[in-house]
Amino acid sequence: MLQTCGENWGIKGVIMAIRNILSKSSDWLRGEGPHHQIVVSSRVRLARNLSGAPFPGWAKKAERTQILERIRPRVEELPEMADAFSFACQDLSALEKQVLVERHLISREHAAKGPGSAVVMNKRQTLSIMINEEDHLRMQAIRSGLQLRAAFKALNKVDSELEQKVDFAFDPVLGYLTACPSNVGTGMRASAMLHVPALVLSEQINQVIQAVNKIGLAVRGLYGEGTEALGNLFQISNQITLGEREEEIIERLQKVILQIIDHEQNARQTLLQQRSNTLLDSIGRSYGTLRHAYSMGSKEALNLLSLAKLGCDLGFYSEEQQHAVDELFMETQPAHLQKGSPKKLATEERDTLRADIIRRKLAEFQPPDVAGVMARVQVVPQKTGEETAPAEGTEPSGESSEGAL
């Protein structure tokens, strides 16, 4: 049954509903799906607007409210939203909005919205629809691992269902009309969140980023445009939405992602075989700090957890331990820490709480199985001063044609 939170619910109903959804982790955070060791998640987003209505940024408050009243019921009655949550933005606290941002369910821009805006999301937190963000509709589907096609298929179905109920702004030549010209056409942004610590450790990441940018794709940080790539996490997405079909955009992005996966896997093997001391030192230091630190900032935690995750992927830790590490990526984010506290936390208190949670969660974490892993690896002696990354100015291995790295 849909849980709609607005004027008729009252503050208690809103609090109960948001607590309900925030008490559960998102399905896409489970560390499953194809290539999940490197691809954390796949996301497809569609921007749509009502025909004849002003874009949210140009609309007056009364107009935004009217648009919301037109769209929200149509979104809530979608079959995919049968067991969903629907929140008016003004009914959510700043903290609750930030938790949704940390879970990638709403954008930072939507978190700043007030009356006339809303968000509807399914119970599994794999489908969310923002109403009156930059566009009237910002719809997104998220999947674990490399599942761009599956995410697009799910979202395309929702888009088709809504298009039967509302009249979207569409031009026969340009395609779907959007508030930002960069989204005109398909209105689609497809992206994958990649965890590539080996490319960072081997100092190859800048070359990969440059190669990706040259073929018309964008590389962004953890929370999208203008944010830092914390925890060795990078978002790769399309930039062109005009002149290409949705399926073509997906296939081109998929091809590039698979090549980056190959580069990361090769970099991991190179670290094991040729730079094992560098790798073991990084994993060992992360283990020691995560297990014994009593204060830890968000950035440091993400970077250390990234190295612990790399250790899990390479077999230094068990699968059970990997699950704990994956959960900590989200549980140690600032808003998630604050939502579990009865009082407002100062930065120092939050850093202390973060370290406490990590120590408790990793209390049974066994030391990295260095002997077991290295016994399976044919180690190549590392020569002093020898560079293992490609020389400056060279392209990473593989094709150099468009669509390849």
On whether both 282 and 181 belong to a single domain, the answer is no
Does residue 47 share a domain with residue 148? Answer: yes
Per DSSP bridges, beta strands 3-5 and 85-88 are parallel
Confidence (pLDDT) at 2: 54
Please tell me the chain's helix, strand, coil percentages from 3-state DSSP, rounded to the nearest 5. 45, 15, 40
Q: What is the pLDDT of residue 13?
A: 55
Structural domain boundaries, residue 74: 27-185
**Same domain? 177 vs 292:** no
Q: Decide if pLDDT at 169 tops 50.
A: yes
- What was the pLDDT predicted at 391? 39
The half-sphere exposure of 120 on its side-chain side, counting CA atoms within 13 A, is 26
In a domain, 150, yes or no: yes
Q: How far apart are CA 95 and CA 335, in angstroms?
A: 6
43: nearest Cα among 236, 172, 217: 236
Residue 262: inside a domain, yes or no?
no
**CATH number of the domain to which 92 belongs:** 3.30.590.10
DSSP string, 324-373: HHHHHHHHTSHHHHHHT-SSPPPHHHHHHHHHHHHHHHTTTPPPP-HHHH
- Supply the mean pLDDT for the chain: 88
Residue 248 lies in a domain: no
Clarify whether residues 173 and 286 are in a common domain: no
Q: Please say if the pLDDT value at position 379 is more than 80.
A: no
Q: Is residue 178 part of a domain?
A: yes
Q: Which of 185, 213, 246 is the last residue of a domain?
A: 185
Kindly tell me the sign of the dihedral angle through the C-alpha atoms of 60, 75, 333, 344: positive
Each residue's pLDDT tens digit, 197-241: 999 999 999 999 999 999 999 998 766 555 567 899 999 999 989
Of 185, 208, 242, the residue that ends a domain is: 185
For residue 315, is pLDDT > 90? yes
Per-residue pLDDT for 397 more than 70? no
d(CA 189, CA 241): 8
pLDDT digits (tens, 9 = 90+) for 4-54: 554 444 555 555 666 666 666 666 677 778 999 999 999 999 999 999 999
pLDDT at 385: 45
**Residue 378 pLDDT exceeds 90:** no
Which one of 169, 185, 201 terminates a domain? 185
What's the rounded mean pLDDT across residues 368-376?
A: 91
Give the pLDDT confidence of 119-154 residue by residue, as tens digits: 999 988 999 999 999 999 999 999 999 999 999 999
Residue 135 lies in a domain: yes
Q: Is residue 374 scored above 70 in pLDDT?
A: yes
Share of the chain above pLDDT 90, in %: 75
The answer as to whether 217 is a domain residue is no
CA 250 – CA 234 distance, rounded (Å): 18
Considering only CA atoms, which of 123, 142, 135 is closest in space to residue 81?
123
Give the C-alpha separation, 37 to 196, whole Å.
9
**Residue 106: inside a domain, yes or no?**
yes
